[in-house]
């Protein structure tokens, strides 16, 4: 592959040094296959893991597509299967099930387009500064500076079979409407491709958010007096970071949720639900985050 598109794209990626063992989550789509190709090109010792959610007929065949690609590229392969029942929040539950069987630190094939979609989705959720910072550049997403069309171009150049996931065209999923309707509309209004613009803004916001996170770390979110004494912005960030663990994907909670917890800290309420089956209650001057059904605390 040396000298082709893979070499050009690899120069814009952030893989670990050659010889590093890595696990790549590979669904069989163009982005994850590109991740697999470039991880091998980077000289990593690669294991491709495919997770079958069993949500559509013939999904077991997608694992064979990934296995064939891994074998061709000289990577190891492992297949996992999880059970995700149909119902509300299907996308989030499938993602949580997938991450549960992937090892910590597994590499993911998110691109610049995914970053733009995530920022806009977080904006719609009211997720605050941390949400506008998008996905962290934490080493797990080496393709964040690549575009989706580039991952497809690499697969085409190498003649790799790509799995077409029909759920990516389902308009009932909000991310698909952001991808297929909102981003093109924003591009039309702006008269330019807005994905790089949103990505650069996310990096700027992330730098500010990380500085504020450092300052907010000095505020104890379980201490009502400390929250009341802190500057409002830092108190809100301390609460938001405390609540991140309530989301299966560690998504920042909406601002409305943070405000309800701050109201509990001010004594305006004795407790509040914060999503995912978690609840914050106050006893004296202390706040307690726990699962409402089990009492398990975080």
Residue carrying structure tokens 């409402």: 292
Q: Which helix (H) or strand (E) holds 288?
A: strand 286-291
Cross-strand pairs, 48 = 24, 77
Task: Provide the pLDDT for residue 100.
Answer: 82
The pLDDT value given to residue 99:
77
Q: In what order do the strands lie in the sheet with 76-81?
A: 21-25, 45-52, 76-81
Instruction: Write the pLDDT tens digit of every residue in 269-283.
Output: 999 998 878 899 999
Phi-psi region of 87 (alpha: psi -120 to 50; beta: other; left: phi over 0): left
Q: Which two tokens stand for residue 247?
A: 């989301």
Token representation of residue 245: 């663990």
Residue-wise pLDDT for 25-81, tens only, equals: 999 999 999 999 999 999 999 999 999 876 666 677 889 999 999 999 999 999 988
Structural contact between residues 5 and 153, judged by C-beta atoms closer than 8 angstroms:
yes
Domains of the chain: 5-107+142-167 (3.40.50.620), 111-140+170-216 (no CATH), 218-291 (no CATH)
Radius of gyration of the chain (CA): 21
CA atoms of 203 and 199, how far apart (whole Å): 6
Average pLDDT, whole number, for the chain? 90
């Amino acid at each position: 592959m040396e000298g082709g598109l893979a070499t050009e794209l690899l120069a814009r990626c952030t893989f670990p040094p050659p010889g590093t063992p890595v696990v790549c989550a590979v669904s069989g789509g163009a982005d994850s296959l590109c991740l697999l190709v470039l991880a091998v090109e980077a000289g990593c010792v690669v294991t491709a893991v495919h997770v079958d959610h069993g949500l559509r007929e013939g999904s077991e065949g997608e694992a064979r597509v990934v296995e064939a690609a891994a074998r061709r590229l000289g990577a190891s392969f492992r297949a996992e299967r999880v059970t995700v029942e149909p119902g509300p929040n299907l996308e989030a539950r499938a993602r949580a099930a997938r991450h549960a069987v992937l090892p910590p630190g597994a590499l993911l094939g998110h691109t610049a387009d995914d970053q733009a979609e995530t920022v806009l989705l977080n904006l719609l959720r009211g997720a605050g500064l941390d949400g506008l910072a998008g996905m962290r550049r934490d080493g797990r997403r080496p393709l964040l500076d690549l575009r989706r069309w580039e991952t497809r171009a690499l697969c085409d150049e190498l003649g790799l079979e790509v799995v077409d996931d029909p759920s990516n065209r389902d308009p009932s999923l909000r991310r698909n409407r952001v991808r297929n309707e909102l981003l093109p509309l924003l591009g039309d209004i702006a008269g330019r491709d807005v994905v790089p613009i949103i990505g650069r803004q996310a990096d700027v916001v992330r730098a500010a958010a990380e500085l504020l996170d450092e300052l907010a770390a000095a505020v104890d979110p379980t201490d009502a007096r400390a929250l009341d004494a802190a500057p409002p912005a830092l108190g809100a960030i301390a609460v938001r970071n405390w609540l991140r663990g309530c989301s299966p994907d560690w998504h920042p909670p909406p601002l409305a949720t943070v405000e309800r917890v701050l109201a509990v800290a001010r004594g305006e309420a004795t407790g509040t639900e914060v999503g995912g089956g978690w609840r914050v209650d106050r006893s004296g001057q202390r706040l307690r985050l726990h699962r409402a059904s089990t009492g398990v605390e975080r």
